[in-house]
Structures are given as C-alpha cells and as structure tokens.
Amino acid sequence: MSTINVKVAAVEEVTPLIKHFRLESEDGADLPPFSGGSHIVVTMDAEGRTYRNPYSLMGSPSDTRAYHISVRRQESSRGGSVFMHERVQVGMRLKITHPVNLFSLSKLAHKHILIAGGIGITPFMSQIEDLKAVDADYELHYAFRSYEQAAFVNELEEKCEGKLYCYADSQNERIDLTELLRHQPLGTHVYVCGPSPMVVAVLETARNLGWPENNIHHEEFSAPPVGEPFKVQLARSGIEVEVPAEMSMLEAIEEAGVAADSLCRGGVCGRCELTVLETDGGIQHHDHYLSDSEKVSCRSIMPCVSRTKGKRLVVDL
C-alpha cells in the first residue's frame, strides 16, 4: 500500500488521556483530499515491532495542508497508543496511508443522527464540517465519562450551534436510544462510533424499531483483542508464523515479512479476509464483517481482529 511521509507539526494534550496531533507532509505539499469520516493508518516503528493503528481524520475536509488525529491512551494498550503518547514529538517523521472512508455520510439522507461515545467523537469532527457545508439537518449525541475527561466539547458547542447533546456518565446522564430513534422522520440515517457495547446497543435498537440496514452506519476502532498465542501456517508461502498473545494475526503475518492485504484493521471492511484451510480449535471471530452463518462455518477469518482458540491454524496465503 502506498504511504505518505509526514512530519508531526504540533502535539497538544486535549485531556490527560487524549493527545491531538497535527501532521503535515514532509515536503510541505498539500495532502490528499478526504471526505468526512475518513481514517488513515499510522505506521509506528518501535524497537522490535511495528504498530499500525487506524485513526480518524478530524480536521476540516476543506483543509488539506494538515491532517489532524486524536489518540486516546488505551488502558490495556498493546503499545500503539502508548507509543503515540510517549514517543511521538514535534518534528518526528511518521508514515501514514492515504485516507480511506468506511464511515461516509449518506448523500440520500434527509436527516443525520450522529452518536459518539468517548474518543469515538473523532470521525464526526470532520463529518460535521461536511454537514455544515451543505446545511444538512443533523443532531450530534455525545456520551462520555465526565466533562473533565471529554474532548472537544467547547469546540463542538461552537461548531454545532445547538445541535450538540452531551451525556456525562458521571452525572448519570444516558442516551435513551429507543426514545431518540423512535420518533425520527423518514429518510433519517443513524451513525455510531464508540465503544463496542454502545455500537451494539445502537445497532440493535435501530433494527428492533424497523430501521432498514441501509440507514444504519457504524465504526468501531477497537484494538485487536488479546488472546492465547498460536501458530498460523501460510499454505501458499509455506511459512509458519507465531502469533503472540498481545499481537493480532495480521500484525504477526506482516512482521514475518508477508504483505497481507488490509484496510480498516478493525474488522469492518473485509479487505484482509483469509480462507481457513485447517483449524484445530475453531475461530474466535471479533469482526463485524462476516455474517453469523459465515462465522459458524469457520471457512473465513479476518486476521486484523480474529484469532483461533486452538494451537494451530492454516490459511490460504
């Protein structure tokens, strides 16, 4: 995948847990244009291993002089977010991918309901710019732990002009999803980005109320879940790769020097799908791409997030 060389132009601590990075191209040229909801994958070369983490672009799509990303320090980080927090400083060089949008706004929608949980606010920051540009009807519902820990609330209040609704867990404020989704006019689309339980709750509520699949959009940047170590055999290349507990199968394959295809690295897009030839313990599917019946069949695996429960897996790669 072609990469762009960027330098870190600014680093700002937004909250004790969230840092905001401004990235500019190394040669000072404009960066490729993007649409609201796009993300990039940042490659980090730490000693002994490479991290590739996806981050939403949160700047205005009309400004291509710089890309803006925000990184939350993950409590159970496998290393990527800690690297971004502790090691990345102004002037440092990073490699990023071209922007990809797997969470784009529907142009057919008459109204947009955006639901964010915590750091899941980032893709909406650029989407709001797109919505404002066409004067679209929208509401932003932003849930977080507390006002002290919430990022960009003031900035959003100013941008959204009364269309922002905040919910602080510390003050026992919760989004009543059924109430919110029950009374929306025809042609409304709902978008959710946040922690997994929140995404699942929004998807289930909308589906139970009879919302068509086309009107429901979600994005989830969860780190690949940690599991038991196992061995994966790449049948075509004849290579055996050890997958450690805290590394995803995709990362381990890449580390072994095999250029596996991938895009979102979050189990959503389906690009990294591999055919399973053999498994001795079944698959732990963590993706949102395969259908339930495909998951049961164990014929495919999304190596960016999924693992095996067994000791050994053979894939067609």
78 vs 3: CA distance, rounded Å: 23
The 10 Å CB-count burial string (b at 16+, else e) for 125-164 is: bbbbbbbbeeebebbbbbbbeeeebbbbeeebeebbeebb
User: Which range, of 41-49, 108-116, 236-244, 263-271, touches other proteins by CB under 8 A?
Assistant: 108-116
Residue selected from 16, 48, 210, 257 as contacting other proteins according to rule CB under 8 A: 210
In the bound complex, what is the minimum distance in angstroms from residue 289's beta carbon to other proteins? 20
Site for other proteins contains 276 (CB under 8 A)? no
In the bound complex, what is the minimum distance in angstroms from residue 136's beta carbon to other proteins? 12
Close Cβ partners of 40 (under 8 Å, ≥ 6 residues apart): 54, 55, 57, 67, 69, 96, 97, 98, 99, 100
Three-class SS state of 180: helix
x/- map, 145-184, other proteins, by CB under 8 A: ------------------------------------xxxx
Residue selected from 16, 212, 238, 257 as contacting other proteins according to rule CB under 8 A: 212
Length of the chain in terms of residues written: 317
Of 39 and 189, which has the nearer Cβ to other proteins? 189
Return the HEC string of 50-84.
EEEEEEECCCCCCCCCCEEEEEECCCCCCCHHHHH
Site for other proteins contains 28 (CB under 8 A)? no
Of 146 and 208, which has the nearer Cβ to other proteins? 208
With CB under 8 A, what is the number of residues at the site for other proteins?
Answer: 19
Of 165 and 211, which has the nearer Cβ to other proteins? 211
Of 187 and 282, which has the nearer Cβ to other proteins? 187
Site for other proteins contains 4 (CB under 8 A)? no
202 vs 298: CA distance, rounded Å: 27
Binding residues (CB under 8 A) for other proteins: these are 108-110, 181-188, 207-212, 214-215
